[in-house]
Amino acid sequence: MIIRSKAPLRISFAGGGTDVEPYLSEQGGVVLSTTIDKYAYGSIRFRDDRQITVTSLDYDIVAKYSLDEPLTYDGNLDLIKATICRLNRENSDQGLDFFLHSDAPPGTGLGSSSTIVVALIGLFHRWLHLPLTNYDIADLAYQIERVDMGIKGGKQDQYAATFGGFNFIEFYHDATIVNPLRVPSDTLNELHYRLLLCYTGKSRLSAHIIDTQIEGYVQRREDVVRAMDELKQVAIDLKNALLQGRLDDFGALLHRAWVNKKKMAEQISDAHIDELYETARKYGALGGKISGAGGGGHMFFYCQFDRKHLIAAQLERLGAQIVDFNFDFYGLQAWQVR
């Protein structure tokens, strides 16, 4: 028997950064995002011995561990090992093969690392029939990544990957509220037709960018605090524009989000990213932004429909790779193969 799972990656329209402590607890954060049809996948196969193997296509690693020895954190697949340690305590005699991969590797701004953890939890959830709600799964993924492993970042990725679809997510000190958005199909089709997703050609380490952002907020730098407050408002305005079908306003608000996002940390953009963005605007994009913490990874643009092909050609000329995608509405899924 084999158990498989998949969890969708996400693009974040606005609010990213307000889901990070201590801003989250002190001010409350909001994020507007959607999941897309790019996934993190996991599989469990059961063994007859007391070994655990982890095969990661993303890192081209096959790691082997014995159940007779504790898993040690040595910089190789530590996040995966932390998840296994959390969830395999009651079944420590069962040998397991794990096989993990993602449609977009870590560091590309689509929430890959958190989504892999969600997919891995989904395997255990299906195998062990754990009494976990979607909120429990998302929070557990957050605890493993941010608390157990101390990896800097926010909360949005875990909730987006677990719930799936278009969500307006509110983050507070003692609660997270996922508000699924019922966007009319006409609006969804037009939004998809007008959006252009591309890979900038380089990945990045988001933790360094987030450290700078947190430092700016803790020091109460006026430009950083004002930008984060503005991003909250933009996320609310984007949600309203989306639900009301005001998509050109949606595109313009994306530009406003990008302008404020860049104020939170200087590493969020660089000369290449700025060139991609300004070129897209020059050729007909109403707005856009980088997805995730910044510094590289994926960008997306809301385009005038008759200029989208021109924008794509210019971005490719500058070294970006256009990515076909559609929206995902299902979130985390797991199934059994006999």
Active site residues: 157
Q: Of the candidates 295, 278, 290, 286, which has an alpha carbon nearest to the alpha carbon of residue 212?
A: 295
CA atoms of 292 and 32, how far apart (whole Å): 12
Decide: 303 and 314 in contact? Cβ < 8 Å.
Answer: no
Beta-carbon neighbour count of residue 92 at 10 Å?
10
Amino acid residing at 322: I
| Measured CA angle at 129 (ends 127, 134), to 5 deg | 105
Decide: 90 and 45 in contact? Cβ < 8 Å.
Answer: no
Six-digit token pair at 118? 């969600």
CA atoms of 309 and 326, how far apart (whole Å): 17
Which spans in 143-261 are helix H? 156-163, 185-194, 206-218, 222-243, 247-261
Query: How would DSSP label each residue in 76-120?
Result: SSHHHHHHHHHH-GGGTT--EEEEEEESS-TTSSS-HHHHHHHHH
- Of the CA atoms within 13 Å of residue 101, those in its CB half-sphere come to 8
